[in-house]
C-alpha cells in the first residue's frame, strides 16, 4: 500500500485538503481519530490517564476532559512526555491496522504530528499543507475561538514552518481561493496513483 502522509500546522487547512482526496475515493487514516478512539470511555488508555493525572481530567460522565488535560500538559513538559509515551505507540498501532485494511489504490495518513513522531516511518511521501503564520492564527481563532496568545503558543510549540517544508515531498500552498483546492488535489491524486501503480508493479 502506497501511503501519503498529509501534515501541516494548526489552521493550515489539512482537513479541507484531505476531504478533497476522499471525494476522489481515497481512504483517509486520521491520527486525530485514533487519539479520540483510544481515550474513549472505558478504554485502557483513559484509565491510565485518570490514574496518573487524577479526577480533574475526567468529566462527570466518565469521558476525558480534554481541556483540563491540555492545560496540564501544555504547561508541564514532563507530563506532556508521559502522555506522549503512553499514546504515541498506541496511535501508531491503530494507524498501521487502518492502513492494512485500506481499499483504495493508495491512502492518506493525516496527522498534525507526522514529522514529530515515528508516524513518518509509515509513509512513502510527505504532503505538507502550508500557509503563512498570520493565516494560521486568523483561521484557528475563527474556528476555535480562544485567545490569540494561546494560539500563538500552540504554533510556537509545533515544528517550525521552515523545518516542516524541509521534509516535504509535495507542498500544497493553501493561501489561494477555495475553488482552486479541488483541481490542485486532482493533480496530486493522479501523481499518487502513478506512484502507487509503480510500487504495486514492483511488489
CATH number reported for the structural domain that contains residue 38 in this entry: 3.40.50.300
Quick: pLDDT tens for 93-127. Answer: 999 999 999 999 999 999 988 998 889 999 999 99
Q: Give the pLDDT confidence score for residue 187 in this predicted structure.
A: 95
Considering the domain architecture, whether residues 123 and 142 belong to the same structural domain is answered as: yes
Instruction: Cite the DSSP H helix spans in 24-132.
Output: 31-37, 44-53, 66-75, 77-100
Phi, psi values for residue 12, rounded to 5° = -80, -20
Q: Give the pLDDT confidence score for residue 136 in this predicted structure.
A: 80
- Supply the range of the domain harboring residue 124: 1-26+105-197
Is residue 169 included in any domain, yes or no? Answer: yes
Considering the domain architecture, whether residues 77 and 170 belong to the same structural domain is answered as: no
- The residue among 50, 68, 103 that closes a domain is 103
Considering the domain architecture, whether residues 21 and 51 belong to the same structural domain is answered as: no
Q: Give the pLDDT confidence score for residue 200 in this predicted structure.
A: 42
CA–CA separation, 203 and 92 (whole Å): 24
Q: pTM of the predicted model, to two decimals?
A: 0.85
Q: Mean of the pLDDT values across residues 72-91? A: 91
Q: Give the pLDDT confidence score for residue 20 in this predicted structure.
A: 96
Considering the domain architecture, whether residues 167 and 77 belong to the same structural domain is answered as: no
Domain count, the chain: 2
Cell triple for 178: 477555495
Asked if 28 and 22 touch (Cβ cutoff 8 Å), the reply is: yes
Considering the domain architecture, whether residues 72 and 159 belong to the same structural domain is answered as: no
Instruction: Cite the DSSP H helix spans in 30-76.
Output: 31-37, 44-53, 66-75
Confidence of residue 201 (pLDDT cuts 50, 70, 90): very low
Is residue 203 included in any domain, yes or no? Answer: no
Q: Give the pLDDT confidence score for residue 140 in this predicted structure.
A: 80
Is residue 202 included in any domain, yes or no? Answer: no
Is residue 61 included in any domain, yes or no? Answer: yes
Residue 168 neighbours by CB under 8 Å, 6+ apart: 126, 127, 128, 130
Is residue 175 included in any domain, yes or no? Answer: yes
Quick: pLDDT tens for 138-184. Answer: 888 888 777 787 778 787 778 888 999 999 999 999 988 888 999 99
Amino acid at each position: 500500500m502506497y501511503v501519503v502522509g498529509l501534515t501541516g500546522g494548526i489552521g493550515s487547512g489539512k482537513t479541507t485538503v484531505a476531504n478533497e482526496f476522499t471525494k476522489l475515493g481515497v481512504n483517509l487514516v486520521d491520527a486525530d481519530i485514533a487519539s479520540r478512539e483510544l481515550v474513549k470511555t472505558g478504554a485502557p488508555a483513559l484509565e491510565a490517564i485518570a490514574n496518573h493525572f487524577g479526577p480533574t481530567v475526567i468529566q462527570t460522565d466518565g469521558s476525558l476532559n480534554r481541556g483540563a488535560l491540555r492545560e496540564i500538559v501544555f504547561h508541564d513538559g514532563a507530563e506532556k512526555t508521559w502522555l506522549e509515551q503512553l499514546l504515541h505507540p498506541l496511535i501508531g498501532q491503530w494507524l498501521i491496522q487502518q492502513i492494512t485494511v485500506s481499499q483504495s489504490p493508495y491512502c492518506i495518513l493525516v496527522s498534525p504530528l507526522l514529522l514529530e513522531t515515528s508516524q513518518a516511518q509509515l509513509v512513502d511521501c510527505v504532503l505538507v499543507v502550508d500557509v503563512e503564520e498570520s493565516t494560521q492564527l486568523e483561521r484557528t481563532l475563527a474556528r476555535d475561538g480562544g485567545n490569540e496568545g494561546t494560539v500563538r503558543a500552540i504554533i510556537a510549540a509545533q515544528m517550525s514552518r521552515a523545518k516542516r517544508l524541509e521534509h516535504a515531498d509535495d507542498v500544497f500552498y493553501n493561501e489561494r481561493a477555495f475553488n482552486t483546492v479541488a483541481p490542485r488535489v486532482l493533480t496530486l491524486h493522479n501523481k499518487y496513483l502513478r506512484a502507487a501503480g509503480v510500487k504495486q508493479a514492483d511488489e
